[in-house]
A and B are shown apart, each in its own frame.
Chain A
Amino acid sequence: MAYKWQKNYACTTVFAVFRSKSMLDQQTVPSAFDQAGNTKLGTLTYFPRTNTDATLLDNQATMMANMFVNHMANLGVINEMEEEGTTKHDVKQKLKDIFKDGSKTLKDVAETIDKMIKFFDEE
C-alpha cells in the first residue's frame, strides 16, 4: 500500500526539520502541512539548479542528509530503531540517495525514515 502523508511522527518530524529556520530552513516547502508532502526536493533551496555537476549534487545531498539526521536525533522523537544497531550513518546514506533525486518528495523522505525508525506513535 502506498505510503500516506499524514499527521504521524515521521511526517511531522520531516515537516518540522525541513521548514524550521533553526534547522534545514527550506522555505519553499508550503507552510500548510497537508500540502507539504508532495513538495519535490528539486524545488527546494539546497538543490542546485544552474549547475548539474555530479560532485556538487553529491555534496549538497550529503549536507542535507547529515543535518536532517542530526536534527532529528536532537528532537527526541525516536522510540527505537526498526533494526537493532542501525547507526546515524546508515540512515544518512539512505537519505543521501533520496536527496540527490529532485523528483522525490517530502513524503518519500518520511517513508524512508519510517522504514528504518520506530517513532513514539508506533507499536
Chain B
Amino acid sequence: MKLAVIAYLLVCFFLPVQASTPSFEETFGLDLFDKGKNKVRLGMFSNESGDTSSWSIDFKLNKDIGIGQPSYPNKDKDQFILPTTGPVFTMDELLAIGQNDYSDLSDIQKERLFAAIDHSVDDYSVFHINLSAEGLLALDKEKNLKDFTQFRAQGTYKKWRDNQYTYGGGIFATYETDQSNDNAQIAYGVSVNAQFYFHQGKANEYVFLKLDYAQVDPTDNTQRLAILNGDKSTFHRWEMDATVQFQISVQEIDKVELSYRYFYEPGAPTEVAAAGMNNFALFTAGIFFQKGWFIAFSDGELPFSVQKEQIVELGWSHSFN
C-alpha cells in the first residue's frame, strides 16, 4: 500500500514536466559485450513525449593505468592481523549478521563486530592515467537523444583521506562529437574534483564536485564554423559537474541521486551566444527503489545534443538467477 502511494506521488511529480503525452517510455536493452569495465549495450531510448525513440548503442570503455605504488604512510596497519585461535564467528552467525540479526551474538562477538575501524590506514595519494570512451550512438542518425560521444585521456593525482573525503586533479584531452559525426572538437585543459562522504566509511551518501577548464579547438565543428563564417579560433570552456546521493527514511526507496552538469564559454562571440551555444546544462534525477524499480528524469542538453529534450525513463533492474 505504502509503495502504491509513493508510486502515485512520483507519477504526479513527473507529470508536469511532460509535454502533451502523459505516458512513460520504458527503456530496455541487451548487453552485446560486457567484460570488466568495458561494455557495449543495445537499447531503446525515448524522449518524454514518446514521439521520438530509437534503438541505440550505448558504449563505455575504460582503461586505468597506475603509475607507481600509492604512497601509504601507514604500512604497518596495512598488514592483516590473523586470529591465533579459531574463527570469531561461525558461518551461521555470519548469515544472521547479514540479516541484521545480532541477538544470538556474545558480548565479545558484538565488540568485534562494532569495533571502531582505524580509518588512518586508508590515507594515501596515488597518480594514474585513465583512458575512456563513452557515448550513445542512435541507429537512426537523426535521433541522438541523450548524450554525446567522447574519448578522454587524463592524468590524475588523487589524495584519499581516511575514508571521509577525497580530492584530486590533473590534465586531460578529449575528442567530442555528435552522434552523426558532423560536428566534432578537441578540448584540452585541467580538471579538479572532490568528493565528501556524509558518514565516514559509508559509500551510500556523498557529494561529488568536478570542475574542468579547457581550451577547445573547433576546427571540425561545422555548426560553429557556419555561425562564425569559418572562424576557427580556439575558445575556452568551463565545465561544472555536481552530483549528490542520499537516502531517505522511506523503507521502499533505496536512494535518490541528483546530478547537474553545466558548460559555459566565457566571452563567447555574439553570434554564438545568440545561437544559444555559449552555455549548456543537463539535470538528471533518479529515484531507486529497493525492489529494483527506478524512475530517472533528465532535462537539458549537453554540447552537440541534437535538440533540447526532457527524457523520462522508467525501468527495472533485476539479477536473474
Contacts and interface: CB of A to CB of B under 8 A. Distances in A.
Interface stretch (B18-26, B86-94, B227-235, B262-270): B86-94
B98 A15 contact: yes
B291 to A, nearest CB: 8
A73 B81 contact: yes
B88 A77 contact: yes
Contacts of A63: 163, 197, 201, 203
A-side binding surface: helix, strand, loop or mixed? mixed
Contact of B98 (A18, A66, A101): A18
B48 to A, nearest CB: 16
B72 A89 contact: yes
A77 B62 contact: no
B255 interface: yes
Contact of B34 (A36, A81, A103): A103
Nearest to A54: B132
A87 B156 contact: no
Given A49-B288, A87-B78, A62 B34 contact: no
Interface in A1-43: 7-9, 12-13, 15-16, 18-22, 24-29, 31, 33, 35-36, 38-40, 42-43
B255 A70 contact: no
Interface stretch (B1-9, B178-186, B215-223, B240-248): B240-248
Contacts of B72: 89
A74 B112 contact: yes
A100 B208 contact: no
Interface in A87-123: 87-89, 97, 100-101, 103, 105, 119-121
Nearest to B122: A66
A5 to B, nearest CB: 10
A22 B111 CA distance: 12
B255 A81 contact: no
A45 B256 CA distance: 10
B97 interface: yes
Nearest to A121: B91
Given A28-B290, A43-B292, A78 B197 contact: no
17 contacts: A7-B95, A12-B94, A12-B98, A16-B95, A18-B98, A31-B98, A45-B255, A48-B257, A50-B243, A50-B285, A50-B286, A51-B208, A51-B259, A56-B195, A60-B206, A67-B117, A89-B72
Interface of A: 7-9, 12-13, 15-16, 18-22, 24-29, 31, 33, 35-36, 38-40, 42-43, 45-46, 48-56, 58-60, 62-64, 66-67, 70-71, 73-81, 86-89, 97, 100-101, 103, 105, 119-121
Closest 3 CB pairs of A and B: A76-B88, A46-B203, A12-B94
Given A12-B94, A86-B80, A87-B80, 17 more contacts: A15-B95, A15-B98, A19-B97, A22-B113, A33-B98, A35-B321, A46-B204, A48-B243, A50-B285, A59-B208, A60-B203, A70-B119, A70-B121, A70-B122, A75-B112, A79-B82, A103-B39
